[in-house]
Amino acid sequence: MYFRVMKVIHFPLARITIAFVLGLLLAYYIKIPISIVFSILILLSILLIFIFYTYKNKQTTIFSFLTYLVSFIVGISNQIIHTDYYQKNNYIHDSSLFEKTHSINITIREKLKSSSFSNRYIAIVNEIDQKAKSGRILLNIQKDSIDHDVEIGSNLLLKGKLSRNKSADNPNQFDYSKYLENKQIYAQIYSHADDIKKRSKIQKSIWYFSSKLRARIIKNLQKNNFNKTELNVALALIMGQRQEIAPEILRDYQYAGAIHILSVSGLHIGFVLLFVSFILKPFPNTRKASLIKLIIIIISLSLFGIIAGLAPSVIRSVTMFSFVAIGNHLRRSVNIYHTLLVSILLILLFQPSFLFDVGFQLSYIAVFFIVWLQPLFYSLWTPKKRFFKYMWSILTVTFAAQIGTLPITIYYFHQFPGLFFVTNLIIIPLLSIIMVLGIVVMILAAFNSIPIFLSNSLQWSIFCLNKIINTIASFEQFIIKDIPLHFYMLVSGYLFIITLIIWFKKPNFTRLVTVMLSIIIIQLCFFKTHFNTMKEKELIVFSVKKSTLVAERIGNKTTIYTKKEGLRNVSNNNILKSYCSSNFSSIKNKKELKNFLYFNNKRILILDSTILSAHNTHPDLLLLTQSPKINLDRILMNSKPKMVIADGSNFNTALKRWKESCRKQKIPFHSTNEKGFYILK
């Protein structure tokens, strides 16, 4: 197996793919002028063609180098072409659109999970003030302002002002703004029913027909009195639509280590391939019948991908299993590594933004480690009975996938479900039954014909699945939370796992040395992190609505300052948990916030409802909390602070008044409601 991997790395397609991906990464992090990129691409392509026809030996070093260099430049140009930011008529380049209300013409593309107050959609911009514009936006429609969902493909005309995506309000939180930017959504619109005019024109795209089909299936299942909780889980399992799943159900699946089954991926597409192949078994084993069989399989996989919403993991799985089916049709031994490489290259050619999708990354890493590591685990024991072979196979696949995705899972989610192997061992046999039942029921629902016994069987199976997941998730003591992991520790972690597996496959002294070196690198990364943490000092005013929260961190020790009534909730505060785990620190002290703080030779005055005057205090910073009734103009003239900060406990009317006062006296003003947290170092 090791030599097969080495051969794959030396395979030209592998190097071309690596060069292409590096080009995507460079263009993502560094904005390069389009004219320069395309000029270099044209010159290199001409040179490559010239060498190709001039030299008979295509294995020359210069030819290989030019091929990889062209792949690298193609990666850069591909990222530029598929990035809306580079389009001249994209709305992001017109700053006036963010300053006042405009007439905006949009087309609804996709429905997202609703928030507490609004229904949310991804929409495509067509026109703004009757001028052609392009780009994606996030449309938020207040729930109390419209009593039905907007149909996918609907053309809407609305009055609204574009709002730029807001960065994370607090440090080390999930950056939703960056997440939207990766999906090329640079702004949002918040709208009411009165601002929306629905036009008769419907854009009948692939997303429209996919949505229509899903709506038809859901409607027919509801007619069969399918319980809402089980229905929402069924839609997630079979069609990848988990927008309506209750938060407590999602939390149970997350704690049990089974959240991956609610996102359609290789596991689900594999079931579909096996199911369709089983149905087509009666086909004769002739060349013509085999071709018809292949076409049916590819069409079935593609239709399933469309119904599942064309998510990155779905597209990856459909593409990969389509190549597997083609390889089987050609009666060739399919090299799964080559299949993975081809699917990566094809997907990223058409949608390079998938490279930065967490689901896409997890899917490929999981599949790679299953293919590479699972045979090693499986060889440790050879059960004689079929049942034990099946269970051992499930367990080894689960271990291989979990080990492979462990570092990146901790890096993104900062937790690890300790009972993941128990969960997968129990639920995967049940999931195979649910998938077969689900596919049959969904197909019949699309044709308005569902036997009651089938829908009841599916509903009961999902009910049992939810109960099992809930039971496993209830053992919260096995869930390891708030695990810190920086990027260089992530890289060193993978270096250790890979070198250890290589050594286990074929032990020798050289490979043992590389394992030892990887351990030393992990330790160096840890000590570097610890050293950097210990010399850091910072004071943070967090952005918390209707509350005041201040943290002082010196090294790995954090002191929390808040109002007396908030002290008891400090330990359970998710903002503080995220901050402490990401900075390798812990809360050592909890203190009631008084009217003065001293940090790093700076004096901080806290004005709240208990203090009405600040004469002769001369603070470096002035922190306003709980909307104190003060004359800020007078205080600023007397105390002359270098900076004024207002946290989330203040009224908006007071914030506007204070901002104007600071502007008049040319003193910087920072509102956490508007700009997020404030950090002092």
- From the CB of residue 256, how many other CB atoms can be counted at a distance below 10 Å? 26
Q: How many CB atoms lie within 10 A of CB 279?
A: 12
Q: How far apart are CA 485 and CA 490, in angstroms?
A: 7
Instruction: Give the contacts of 174 (CB within 8 A, at least 6 positions apart).
Output: 168
Element housing 299 (H / E): helix 287-307
Give the Cα separation of 61 and 67 in Å (integer): 10
Instruction: Please tell me the distance from the alpha carbon of residue 107 to that of residue 644, in angstroms, as a whole number.
Output: 43
Q: What was the pLDDT predicted at 358?
A: 82
Which DSSP letter does residue 99 get? Answer: T
How many other β-carbons are positioned within 10 Å of the β-carbon of residue 677? 25
**Are the CB atoms for 346 and 319 separated by under 8 Å?**
yes
Does this model's pTM top 0.75? My answer is: yes
d(CA 548, CA 563): 7
Tens digit of each residue's pLDDT (9 = 90 or more) over 72-100:
999 999 998 888 888 888 888 888 888 78
CA atoms of 141 and 108, how far apart (whole Å)? 12
Strand partners for 163: 188
Query: What are the DSSP E strand ranges found in 368-510?
Result: 416-417, 479-480
Contact of 606 with 594, CB cutoff 8 Å? yes
Q: Which residue is listed with tokens 């997020």?
A: 676
The contacts of residue 67 (CB under 8 Å, 6+ apart) are 12, 16, 48
β-bridge mates for residue 128, sequence order: 104, 131
pLDDT tens track for 354-383: 888 887 888 888 888 888 888 888 888 888
> Computed from CA positions of residues 54, 342, 15, 46, in that sequence, does the dihedral angle turn out positive or negative?
positive
Helix/strand/coil (H/E/C) assignment for every residue in 135-164: CEEEEEEEHHHCCCCCCCCEEEEEEECCEE
Task: Using alpha carbons only, give the angle 564, 569, 570 rounded to the nearest 5 degrees.
Answer: 90
Question: What does the pLDDT read at residue 498?
Answer: 92
CB 170 within 8 A of CB 676: yes
* Dihedral sign, Cα of residue 42, residue 45, residue 47, residue 50: negative
Rounded distance between C-alpha atoms, residue 285 and residue 136, angstroms: 48
Alpha helices by DSSP H, listed for 330-419, are: 336-350, 358-378, 386-413
DSSP at 77? H
Give the residue from 392, 434, 399, 404 showing the smallest Cα distance to 420: 399
Instruction: Take residue 208 and report the two structure tokens written for it.
Output: 């429209």
All residue ranges of the chain with pLDDT < 50 are: 1-6
Cα 331 to its chain centre, rounded Å, is: 38
Distance CA 180, CA 137 (A): 9
Cα–chain center distance at 223: 34
Amino acid letter, 462: I
Q: What's the rounded Cα separation, in Å, for the pair 126 and 17?
A: 35
